[in-house]
Chain A
């Protein structure tokens, strides 16, 4: 075990291997590892962000649903009120209309009745006069009873 020129040869080997490691082994592997570390960190951050976004979104959707519900129930109430109002209005209009029709019919009926009565009165008068004429032609002077019949007609 003596020290000799092998030492120099071994130093050259050692220097060569340090150089290989320094130039060709360490930088690319270190870069690969650092890049992977960065990717993993980015991935985790993205996941965290996604979770946060999901939370926000679900809160927002709950808010939206609640708002919609409130709005819908408001619309329902409004509609009910409107419907009731419209029914009331329709009822009022119908009542007024019905009264109008009823009154018109009533008036018409009155007129008809009046007309019929007048016609009837005329006919009865005529009939009575005809009957009386027939009786009186036999026994009484027509002119003498005309006054009395007119007074009777007035009373009817």
Chain B
């Protein structure tokens, strides 16, 4: 909380949805998003890298077993959908699934817990779930978009890519229409990808905040919503990963 006074309902909600900011105008940085997502990523991918360096091809134990399960699940999705041989697709899908999942999972920490701890140390705003920040979801979808474009060039070459842009789906006579369609189609991809994740997590977080306003009634409500939210967390991570694989597969298929 910003001060010792008891906030009104709208103040409480607005407070929860305000990022910890630094800078002004375009050069504003959401420190909470950057730090939480970065720290989570460093912990998860760092520990995975340490574990992978000690991975044995014998009987896997403990965490290796768990990560192998996750990785082979993701890899199976990649194999089923993507038939090219670019070495980046499987790591990209793994990164997306694991990172988005762990960031979404921050939603399950009681909404007031981390902000209260932070305010005790003098930080007055903290938005804990990084995926409720569109900056993060757009950053991911734009990165995916750039990799997709790069893969188009790599697989089809400049000529092949241009040919596809201007001739699909209506043939060379309607080249401008084809180009327009292609632009709309490709722009829609990162926007839908990022807004889907952002919208789902933002709405879920909002419901948690509203439940937290109910006083003692939050106890019977927060648990079922949290349980249900586990599904959304996993599903959104999976959807983001799956669509990325599909886009990569579309980028590397020639017509």
Q: Mark A1-43, 1 if CB is under 8 A from B, else 0.
A: 1111111111101111110111011111111110110010000
Q: Interface of B with A (CB < 8 Å)?
A: 17, 23, 25-30, 33-34, 37-38, 41, 45-46, 48-49, 52-53, 55-58, 60, 64, 67-68, 71-72, 75, 87-88, 90-92, 94-95, 99, 133-136, 138-140, 142-143
CA–CA, A6 to B139, complex, Å? 8
CA–CA, A35 to B56, complex, Å? 9
Q: Determine how close the nearest CB of chain A comes to the CB of B114; give it in whole angstroms.
A: 19
Q: Is the Cβ of B45 less than 8 Å from the Cβ of A14?
A: no
Q: Determine how close the nearest CB of chain B comes to the CB of A7; give it in whole angstroms.
A: 5
CA–CA, A17 to B96, complex, Å? 9
Q: Is the Cβ of B94 less than 8 Å from the Cβ of A6?
A: no
Contact status of A10 and B67, CB under 8 A, knowing A5-B23, A18-B92: no
Q: Determine how close the nearest CB of chain A comes to the CB of B80; give it in whole angstroms.
A: 16
Contact status of A6 and B30, CB under 8 A, knowing A1-B133, A17-B45, A21-B91: yes
CA–CA, A78 to B61, complex, Å? 69
Q: Which residue of A lies closest to B70 (CB)?
A: A29
Q: Is the Cβ of A4 less than 8 Å from the Cβ of B49?
A: no
Q: Determine how close the nearest CB of chain B comes to the CB of A23; give it in whole angstroms.
A: 8
> Which positions 36-82 of chain A face chain B at CB distance < 8 Å?
36, 39
Q: Which residue of B lies closest to A8 (CB)?
A: B139
Q: Is the Cβ of B90 less than 8 Å from the Cβ of A26?
A: yes
Contact status of A24 and B52, CB under 8 A, knowing A5-B29, A6-B30, A11-B142: yes
CA–CA, A21 to B95, complex, Å? 7
* Chain B hits for A25, CB < 8 A: 45, 48-49, 52, 71, 91, 94
Q: Determine how close the nearest CB of chain B comes to the CB of A35; give it in whole angstroms.
A: 3
* Chain B hits for A16, CB < 8 A: 41
* Chain A hits for B99, CB < 8 A: 14, 17
* Chain B hits for A17, CB < 8 A: 41, 45, 95, 99
Cross-chain contact of B57 among A3, A6, A26, A36 (Cβ < 8 A):
A36
Q: Is the Cβ of B26 less than 8 Å from the Cβ of A5?
A: yes
Q: Is the Cβ of A28 less than 8 Å from the Cβ of B30?
A: no
Q: Determine how close the nearest CB of chain B comes to the CB of A4; give it in whole angstroms.
A: 4
Q: Is the Cβ of A14 less than 8 Å from the Cβ of B57?
A: no
CA–CA, A91 to B71, complex, Å? 94
Q: Which residue of B lies closest to A20 (CB)?
A: B45
Q: Is the Cβ of B52 less than 8 Å from the Cβ of A28?
A: yes
Q: Determine how close the nearest CB of chain B comes to the CB of A71; give it in whole angstroms.
A: 51
Q: Which residue of B lies closest to A13 (CB)?
A: B38
* Chain A hits for B41, CB < 8 A: 13, 16-17
CA–CA, A30 to B75, complex, Å? 9
Q: Is the Cβ of A20 less than 8 Å from the Cβ of B49?
A: yes
CA–CA, A9 to B48, complex, Å? 22
Q: Is the Cβ of B34 less than 8 Å from the Cβ of A13?
A: yes
Q: Is the Cβ of A6 less than 8 Å from the Cβ of B33?
A: yes
Q: Determine how close the nearest CB of chain A comes to the CB of B127; give it in whole angstroms.
A: 10
CA–CA, A36 to B65, complex, Å? 12
Q: Can you offer 12 A-B residue contacts whose CB atoms are under 8 A?
A: A1-B17, A4-B23, A10-B139, A11-B142, A16-B41, A17-B95, A20-B46, A26-B90, A29-B52, A29-B68, A30-B75, A32-B52
Given pairs A4-B29, A31-B57, 8 additional interface contacts (CB within 8 A):
A4-B26, A14-B139, A18-B88, A18-B143, A21-B45, A30-B75, A33-B57, A36-B58
Q: Determine how close the nearest CB of chain B comes to the CB of A36; give it in whole angstroms.
A: 5
Q: Determine how close the nearest CB of chain B comes to the CB of A18; give it in whole angstroms.
A: 5
Q: Is the Cβ of B55 less than 8 Å from the Cβ of A10?
A: no
Q: Determine how close the nearest CB of chain A comes to the CB of B171; give it in whole angstroms.
A: 37
